[in-house]
Homo-oligomer: A and B are copies of this chain.
C-alpha cells in the first residue's frame, strides 16, 4: 500500500488523526490556547499571532477535531435525530430535506432513523438517539390512537427530556411536546367545499386506519363539510395510510359506492394508488371517476391528470420543526400550518 492522502510535514504520520495536544506542541503553545484558537469560544481572546501559529500548525498536521471528545467535554453533541416512518415516501423525504437544511444552518448533524412503520422500532430509535446524546429529536409522522404504544413512546421521550434532550413532533401534539401540525380538519373541509362547488355530490372516501389521527382529522373535516351541505358520502373505506393501501382499497370502494363521482383519499399516495387501480380496472380518469388527495407531494407535478389536493408546505414543516426541537426553554409550543386547496384537472367541473 503506497501511502496516500495528506502527509503531515513533520514527524510520523500515524494511523490515527492528529490530536489537539499535538497541534499545541507543534505550535509551541498550551493545550488550552490551541483549543481556544481553533474553537474561538464566545470569548475570542487569543492573540492574533498565536492564533495564527496554532491554525498553521493545525493545517500542517491536518488536524481534525474529534466531535466525540468535544461532545464529551462540552456535555452536549451537535447532533439532531430525525425519526420518520418511511424515508422512501415522498412525504417524509421532503420533510427530511427541510430538517436537513435547517440543521445545516445550525451546524448540526442529522441522524436518520427509519422506523418502517414499526412502533417498536420507533421506541428503539428514541433510545439509540438518547445514547448518542442527540441534542434534540424530531419525530415526523402522524400518531396512532394506540394508548399502549403512545404511553411507551411518551415515557421514553420523557426520559430523554428529563436528561436534557428536547423534542418536537410533526403531526399531532398528543405527546405533550412541541409540535408542528397541519390544520387537517380545516384543509379537508375546504377541499370538500371546493368539490361541492364543482358540482360533485356522490363521494367515495378512502380513509386511513381508524386509529391514525391524521387520517381521522382529515376525514372528520371532510365529512363535516359535506354534512353541512346536506351531503352524505356513499361509502367510507378504511385502509393502510400508504400507496398500496389506497391501491388495494379501491375495488371495495367501487363495490360499496358504485355511483360515486369522485374518490377522495386522505393522502396523496393513497389517491395515486387508487387512481392507478381505477385505471387497471378499465376506468377513465377523471371522466369515469374523479380523484382528490391531500398533501401535495412533489410527485404530483408529473401525474396526469394533475391531482386535486390540499397543499401542505412539507419542506417548510421540516424546517419549522427544527427550532422547535432545539428550543431548550421547555415551553411546549405548537405551530399550525394551514393547507391550501389546489383544484386541478383530476376533478373537472361537473
Q: How many copies does the complex hold?
A: 2
Q: State the interface size on chain A (CB cutoff 8 A).
A: 69
CB of A113, distance to nearest CB on chain B (Å): 8
Partner of A87, one of B93, B111, B113: B93
CB of A219, distance to nearest CB on chain B (Å): 22
Question: Which residues of the other chain, B, contact A17 by a CB distance below 8 angstroms?
Answer: 130, 163
Q: Would you list which residues of chain A between 74 and 119 have a CB under 8 Å from chain B? A: 77, 79, 82, 86-90, 92-94, 96-97, 100-101, 104, 109-114, 116
Contact B276 A302 (CB under 8 A): yes
CB of A155, distance to nearest CB on chain B (Å): 6
Asked if A9 is at the interface (CB within 8 A of a chain B CB), the reply is no
Contact A163 B15 (CB under 8 A): yes
Partner of A131, one of B65, B112, B158, B161: B65
Question: Which residues of the other chain, B, contact A13 by a CB distance below 8 angstroms?
Answer: 162
Contact B67 A133 (CB under 8 A): yes
CB of A19, distance to nearest CB on chain B (Å): 12
* Chain B proximity mask over A134-148: 1 for CB below 8 Å, otherwise 0: 000000000000000
Chain A residues in the interface with B (C-beta under 8 A): 1, 3-6, 13, 15-17, 62, 64-69, 71-72, 77, 79, 82, 86-90, 92-94, 96-97, 100-101, 104, 109-114, 116, 127-128, 130-133, 155, 158-159, 161-164, 243, 272-273, 275-276, 279, 285, 298-299, 301-304, 315, 330
